[in-house]
Amino acid sequence: MRTGSKKFLLSKGLDEYFIGVYNAYKFIGRFFKEAFKAPFHFREIINQCFEIGLKALPLITLTGFITGIVFTKQSRPSLETFGATSWLPSLISIAILRALASLVTALICSGKVGSSIGAELGSMRVTEQIDAMEVSAINPFKFLVTTRVLATTITVPILALYCGFVALLGSFVNINAHEATSFISFFEHGFDTITFLDIFTSVTKSIFFGFTIGIVGCYKGYNASSGTVGVGRAANQAVVLSMFLVFIEEVVIVQVSNWIRLF
Amino acid sequence: MQSDNHNDIIDRDDAVISISGLYKSFGTLDVLKGIDLDVHKGENVAVLGRSGTGKSVLIKILVGLLKPDAGIVKVLGQEVDKLQGKELDALRLKIGFSFQNSALYDSMDVRRNLEFPLRMNFKSLTKKEIDIAVEEVLDAVGLLDKINQLPSDLSGGQKKRIGIARTLILKPEIMLYDEPTSGLDPITSVEINDLINDVQRRYHTSSIIITHDLTCAKVTANRVAILLDGAFLKVGTFDDVFATQEERIQSFFNYNFIT
Ligand SMILES: Nc1ncnc2c1ncn2[C@@H]1O[C@H](COP(=O)(O)OP(=O)(O)O)[C@@H](O)[C@H]1O
Ligand SMILES: [Mg+2]
């Protein structure tokens, strides 16, 4: 390795791509190895859960509520053509609980939480704080990465359920104004068509989303290259990559849950 | 600038750090090309060299942050690159590493910065024991009044001191200082130099001091080593090394005092 020019197996880009995939794979493997070994840093996990929750809560509340209102508003005309506005609550509930709530939450968390984890760990990397932990015999992966990934995996599903609830409230506000449907009857109609599998799929999705956001943010931050540019890049790449993966997971999980529905 | 070196406490037969034939490269960049150095018990050795000559790489290899390509690196009798897990951690607890930019945890105040390595490594310590330890090291670096400040509120010199205090709290046998005076004004540099000497005396540490500050090397080190092109050009007492007519050493010497 100490001599002359570097040889690439395929090409520079492809080599780097596969090395990246391999490193990410190792990173995820390390997470699972460390997550089930003591010490567990419960307190740090709880701290991170609160931090993530508080960071994302205002935006999720706002976005969820508006999504509910807008979606209801936009769906009404097409249902009206069939004289089927009484189906609005169930249509909305299906859309929100099956798809919108978890997706909206995941996207918001990618932006808010993923980027801040990427930036935080990135700046700890470039200012040698991670090295400082390591040389004082503290396992930085365990203390920083494991705790954050667990925290996002726990918190994002909770936020998604909350987002669904707020979106339904928004929808109710709109329906109440137009059709004078009562709160009780709105929710009765809404939940009529919702099955356990819907909720289960939604929560499962959110667990995957939460894990993805945490692990991507940590991976990008933990491996940030030196310099302040590295920090910005880590934050940015964390958002882009986690959003991308969230969409792919969404498609895959919906497909799988549709197969399950067939049985 | 009187010499305050404690030659009397050095045990010349007892090498706590022993490096021989050390090579390290990154890709096509050869950084260290055959380093040999012994640091004896109680001794301060300064490693002098320009930026980018691999000084930081050298001490990072000593704590296992980087792996050598070839050569034998023994710290306290153990080959660092052969250690893993608990054994490596046990060795690391005996080595204090003062980072060039202090590397304080910026989400924690000074007290929590100092407590952190203790809490994480010695779960059985009581709150009181930890408080006493924190106050002792803060006192040693003369910054007791900063205990509740955040790192962002400290000056560069204060950060360096807290960084040193954070390593002292683990009672290290070896101290590695990465450019302790870089970026500091002359007066603060003198204070840091005094602190390094104080630590040597008070904690009986052996140290490697990475620097390109000649004053720092002269005042704190029992021996200095000049790193050039990946190897030591000369190792010896400050006066011996700079008495030689070797052109590259003289240019280093002149450059330092002109700028
Ligand atoms: N982890 C690393 N990966 C690649 N190159 C590195 C790494 N660490 C240091 N280098 C390179 O090694 C050389 C020596 O670096 P360093 O030891 O930090 O110099 P200094 O003597 O200023 O402390 C530099 O050219 C630096 O770019
Ligand atoms: Mg350096």
For residue range A181-236, list pLDDT tens digits in order.
888 888 888 888 888 888 898 999 999 999 999 999 999 999 998 777 889 999 99
Q: Residue B91 Cα, ligand 1 centroid: separation in angstroms? A: 24
Distance from CA of A213 to the nearest CA of B (A): 22
User: What percent of chain A stands above pLDDT 90?
Assistant: 65
Ligand nearest to the CA of B58: 1
Q: In the beta sheet, which residues pair with residue B175? A: B96, B207
Q: How far apart are CA B25 and CA B23, in angstroms?
A: 7
Q: Is B28 close to ligand 1, i.e. is its CB under 6 Å away?
A: no
Asked if B196 contacts B180 with a C-beta cutoff of 8 angstroms, the reply is yes
pLDDT at A116: 95
pLDDT at A4: 44
Q: Which residue has the tokens 């958002």?
A: A239
Record the tokens describing residue A172, joined without a space: 């109710």
- Cβ distance of B105 and A129 shorter than 8 Å: yes
Q: What is the DSSP string of B171-222?
A: --SEEEEESTTTT--HHHHHHHHHHHHHHHHHH--EEEEEES-HHHHHHH-S
Record the tokens describing residue A27, joined without a space: 């990173």
Q: Is B83 exposed, middle or buried (0-12, 13-18, 19+ CB in 10 A)?
A: middle
Instruction: Flag whether pLDDT at B164 surpasses 50.
Output: yes
* Pairing of β B44-48 and β B11-26: unpaired
Average pLDDT, chain B: 88
The ipTM is 0.90
pLDDT interval class at B1 (50, 70, 90): very low
pLDDT digits (tens, 9 = 90+) for A137-195: 999 999 999 999 999 999 999 999 999 999 999 999 999 888 888 888 888 888 888 88
Query: Letter for the amino acid at A162?
Result: Y
pLDDT interval class at B166 (50, 70, 90): very high
Average pLDDT, chain A: 91
pLDDT interval class at B131 (50, 70, 90): very high
Domain boundaries, chain B: 2-258
Domain boundaries, chain A: 41-77+88-262
Record the tokens describing residue B249, joined without a space: 């050493």
pLDDT at A6: 60
Q: Whose CA is nearest to atom 14 of ligand 1?
A: B54
Distance from CA of A40 to the nearest CA of B (A): 11
Instruction: Flag whether pLDDT at B250 surpasses 90.
Output: no
Q: What is the DSSP string of A149-197?
A: HHHHHHHHHHHHHHHHHHHHHHHHHHHHHHH---HHHHHHHHHHS--HH
Instruction: Give A83 or A64, the one with higher predicted confidence.
Output: A64
pLDDT at A9: 74
pLDDT at B12: 66
What average pLDDT does the segment A15-36 reach? Answer: 91
Query: What per-residue string of b and e applies to B44-67 under the rule 16 or more CB within 10 Å gives b?
Result: bbbbbbeeebbbbbbbbbbbbbbe
Task: State the count of interchain CB pairs (< 8 A) between A and B.
Answer: 66
Q: In the beta sheet, which residues pair with residue B234? A: B226
Name the CATH code of domain B2-258 (choices 1.10.10.350, 3.20.20.140, 3.40.50.300, 3.30.470.20). 3.40.50.300
Listed residue (A71, A162, A72) closest to A109, CA to CA:
A162
Distance of CA A241 to the CA centre of its chain: 11
B65 contact residues in A (CB cutoff 8 A): 131, 134-135
User: What percent of chain A stands above pLDDT 70?
Assistant: 97
Instruction: Flag whether pLDDT at A10 surpasses 80.
Output: no
Asked if B207 contacts B196 with a C-beta cutoff of 8 angstroms, the reply is yes
Q: Whose CA is nearest to atom 3 of ligand 1?
A: B26
pLDDT at B256: 62
pLDDT digits (tens, 9 = 90+) for B67-108: 999 999 999 999 999 998 899 999 999 999 999 999 999 999
- Cβ distance of B104 and A6 shorter than 8 Å: no
Q: Is B26 close to ligand 1, i.e. is its CB under 6 Å away?
A: yes
Ligand nearest to the CA of B31: 1
The model carries a pTM of 0.90
Q: Which residue has the tokens 């997971």?
A: A249
pLDDT at B258: 47
Instruction: Give B61 or A39, the one with higher predicted confidence.
Output: B61
Mutation to test the B interface, candidates A127, A130, A136, most B Cβ within 10 Å: A136
Query: What per-residue string of b and e applies to A214-253 under the rule 16 or more CB within 10 Å gives b?
Result: bbbbbbbbbbbeeeeebbbbbbebbbebbbebbeebbeeb
Q: Whose CA is nearest to atom 18 of ligand 1?
A: B56
For residue B85, is it left (φ>0), alpha (ψ between -120 and 50) or beta?
A: left
pLDDT digits (tens, 9 = 90+) for A105-140: 999 999 999 999 999 999 999 999 999 999 999 999
Distance of CA A261 to the CA centre of its chain: 24
